[in-house]
Amino acid sequence: MNQSILNTKSLKILVLSISLLTTLGIDFLVSNNIKKSFVFSPYVEAQTISKINEAKVFFDRASMKYGDKAIADYTEAIRLNPKYYEAFFRRGLSKSILGDSYGAISDYTEAIRINPKYGDAYFARGLSRSLKDNYGAIADYTEAIRFKPKHTVMESIYESRGNAKSRLGDYYGAIADWDETIRLNPKYSFMVYLNRGIAKAETKDTYGAIFDYTEAIRLYPQFADAYFYRGLAKFSLLDKRGAIND
């Protein structure tokens, strides 16, 4: 059984979480741009601060928009402040939503170049990479876990890394990540239990698979796929009556 498991909600969770937060102030921008070892002249310093403030205006305005209009404002914020890593990150999210995964990856990469400890950018880049590059996605999820993103729940990162490992056939690694997802939040998602059950079936842990399918059903009683897989697992144990009931 070659099961391709996609995590379709993680990006939506990330975007929603960020949209609910108050946008950042300019303190970190100032520290990234004018608190250097050399000394600005008063005129240059005033001009720099003015551009930072103007960039923040475009950033805030973009946060209230969607699609190309948001991208245009984030682009203007970046023009005014080329080290505005949060603007690169948000522009990447906007591109991801519009289906421009390559453009999104480029923006996430630039955000990480400016701020190498930016956990949220690693996670978002991993989601975009997972469409074609599971190894790259796993590397990014691992970095995201390392740097503990501010806007992302950790269980979502472990779930996503488990999904990528499963697509590569690393079922034991996937199970370990989904174990951590469930440990962090036992009610996080019925899909985690289904996916872990499928992976357990691949490793010949049929009883463990049945347990997970049952947990998925408990969380979502209308989950037809979980009944189907549980029926297959019971049939493999020659429990034909149980399989028929599912």
Q: In this predicted structure, what is the pLDDT of residue 18?
A: 52
User: What confidence tens digit (pLDDT) does each residue in 70-127 have?
Assistant: 999 999 999 999 999 999 999 999 999 999 999 999 999 999 999 999 999 999 999 9
Rounded Cα distance between 143 and 181, Å, is 17
Q: In this predicted structure, what is the pLDDT of residue 30?
A: 32
User: Could you say which DSSP state residue 196 is in?
Assistant: H
Q: In this predicted structure, what is the pLDDT of residue 52?
A: 85
Q: Could you tell me if 152 and 144 are in contact, meaning their C-beta atoms sit under 8 angstroms apart?
A: yes
Q: Does domain 170-246 have CATH number 3.90.180.10?
A: no
Rounded Cα distance between 201 and 237, Å, is 12
Domain with CATH 1.25.40.10 in the chain: 7-152, 170-246
Nearest to 82 by CA among 119, 44, 114: 114
Rounded Cα distance between 163 and 77, Å, is 35
Q: Residue 11: which pLDDT band, with cuts at 50, 70 and 90?
A: low
The residue behind tokens 């899909």 is 191
Nearest to 129 by CA among 153, 84, 163, 175: 163
Q: Residue 171: which pLDDT band, with cuts at 50, 70 and 90?
A: very high
User: What confidence tens digit (pLDDT) does each residue in 133-155 have?
Assistant: 999 999 999 999 999 888 889 99
Residue bearing the bigger pLDDT, 128 or 37: 128
Q: In this predicted structure, what is the pLDDT of residue 243?
A: 57
Rounded Cα distance between 9 and 156, Å, is 9
Residue count (the chain) = 246
Give the rounded percent of residues in the chain with a pLDDT score beyond 70. Answer: 77
Q: What is the mean pLDDT of residues 147-171?
A: 94
Rounded Cα distance between 67 and 93, Å, is 10
Per-residue CA distances from 194 to 163, 229, 234 (Å): 12, 8, 15
User: What confidence tens digit (pLDDT) does each residue in 178-212 have?
Assistant: 999 999 999 999 999 999 999 999 999 999 999 99
End-to-end CA distance of the chain: 20
For domain 7-152, the CATH superfamily is Tetratricopeptide repeat domain (1.25.40.10)
Q: Residue 31: which pLDDT band, with cuts at 50, 70 and 90?
A: very low
125-157: b (≥16 Cβ within 10 Å) or e? bbbbbbeeebebbbbbbebbbebebebbbbbbb
